[in-house]
Structure 1
Amino acid sequence: MMKRLPLILLLNALGVALFLSWYLPLNHGFWFPLDSGLFHFFNQELVKSRAFLWLVALTNNRAFDGISLLAMGCLMLSFWRKADAEGRRRIIMIGLVMLLTAVVINQLAQGLMPVKRASPSLSFPDIYRVSELLHIPTKDASKDSFPGDHGMMLLIFSGFMLRYFGKKAFVIALIIVVVFAFPRVMIGAHWLTDIVIGSLSAVLIGLPWMLLTPLSDRLVDLFCCYLPGGRNKIKTNK
């Protein structure tokens, strides 16, 4: 752990600096024009293109969240299929540790970040709401959108892919992040900075202490040994 401590602290410092670059400036400095401009660009496109309107509506339906889980599951399944029985069990436990990590980091971020703001669709007057244009179930607003919990989960997934499955899996995971997190920005349910500031800074601060220390490996070993089907004997990772 001591060899990785400088890297952990560097990533933490980047996370803090990223958050403060948005939090400290008056009206969030250069970030607000970027947030506002991006929201208004996509908001106008909703009434210019019927196809775009339907695309945004469908990709923010709850069913689409299930597709994001399926995409993550398929990526892990590609490694699970190549592993032996012990390796398959370990991959499942890595998934459980990942979910536990996501819950803990999300709860800490929600509790410790001194920010509460509504989504852009609730912040600007005279804008278009997808739910009003189509009258179908879709998430186009949030009373507390910061940090983006959906984006945070996807970024944590990406971190676990890099740690346990390599760079190629990491690149695929980042593509999944963009495909499944950005529709929230396009519809106005999240500001861009909910993800690139809120989610990313929380992940940079919290995730290194899990993945760059023995903690994640030890939790995986514990789950492998003591959950049903385990051998009740912890294997030491060298």
Structure 2
Amino acid sequence: MWRKNLPAILLLNLLGVALFLSYYLPANHGFWFPIDASIFFYFNQHLATSPGFLKLVAVTNNRLFDGCSLLAMGLLYLSFYLRQGPEGRRRLLVTGVVMLLTAVVLNQLGHLLPVQHRSPSLYFPHVNRVSELTGIPTKDASSNSFPGDHGMMLIIFACFMGRYFTRGAFALALAIVVIFSLPRLMIGAHWFTDIAVGSLSVVLVGMSWWLLTPACDRVIEWLNNRLPGKTRRA
């Protein structure tokens, strides 16, 4: 039955590959570099002119704030968990484990892409660095920012919400992607394309085969039947 999804899978793969090649093949990344540079400098100039914006960017890129993205995802997941009976809750826990494993595997595969570069805060000289302007410990640079790990995790979460939950949950998950990816762009720890090209292209290819075929369902079912605590029916 999954073969009815094959056209969608192939289309998503084509989009993912085309997206990556549109960045990888042209000299100096073609039309993507001006977009990346303009987004970086738009936010970077305001770091020196707006104390409120500077503090906001510093706080939202502190490692402790990363917990807020986990909390947002966790609360959305919890809202469905609490509505379930024992069997449904167990299955949701197993699904959550599979989602985390998926994120780890795709993140590792993403770093096999033949692109490595510094974040814009390190690439461009004489720019405003939040850690220097505020003294607040914050992630304002990366020696290898492609693809965006944080953004990829958020997009994978949204994919799972779209596959196993409701349209409303998917919409909220997409909002979480935007809200918690944006601080990395504002501070210059990531280029726009680290997420919009790097993370998204990996997810388009990997998640299409994982979620639109029986593969993920079978792993969830296998773990659900074998992990301790499964209630066996006579």
Taking the aligned partners of 2:205 and 2:168, their CA distance within structure 1 comes to: 24
CA contact (8 A) 1:8 1:208 kept: yes
Residues 153-212 of structure 1, C-alpha deviation per residue, up to 9 Å, x if partnerless?
000000000000021111000000011011101000000000000000000010111110
C-alpha displacement at 1:232, in angstroms?
6.7
CA contact (8 A) 1:142 1:190 kept: yes
Please, which runs of 5 or more residues in structure 2 have no aligned partner?
none
Displacement over 3 Å in runs of 4+: none
C-alpha displacement at 1:25, in angstroms?
1.2
Taking the aligned partners of 1:9 and 1:19, their CA distance within structure 2 comes to: 15
Taking the aligned partners of 2:211 and 2:232, their CA distance within structure 1 comes to: 23
Residue 92 of structure 2 corresponds to which residue in structure 1?
91
2:184 is matched by which residue type in structure 1?
R
Which residues of 2 match residues 129-144 of structure 1 at below 5 A?
129-144=129-144
| Aligned residues: CA RMSD | 1.0
Residue 173 of structure 2 corresponds to which residue in structure 1?
173
C-alpha displacement at 1:228, in angstroms?
1.6
Residue 152 of structure 1 corresponds to which residue in structure 2?
152
Taking the aligned partners of 2:61 and 2:75, their CA distance within structure 1 comes to: 21
Taking the aligned partners of 1:152 and 1:213, their CA distance within structure 2 comes to: 20
TM-score normalised to structure 1 length:
0.95
Which residues of 2 match residues 65-104 of structure 1 at below 5 A?
65-104=66-105
Which residues of 2 match residues 53-68 of structure 1 at below 5 A?
53-68=54-69
Instruction: Tell whether 2:42 aligns with 1:37.
Output: no
**Across the two proteins, how many residue pairs are aligned to each other?**
232
C-alpha displacement at 1:41, in angstroms?
0.9
Please, which runs of 5 or more residues in structure 1 have no aligned partner?
234-238
Taking the aligned partners of 2:116 and 2:52, their CA distance within structure 1 comes to: 33
Taking the aligned partners of 1:121 and 1:180, their CA distance within structure 2 comes to: 19
Which residues of 2 match residues 1-238 of structure 1 at below 5 A?
1-111=2-112, 113-231=113-231
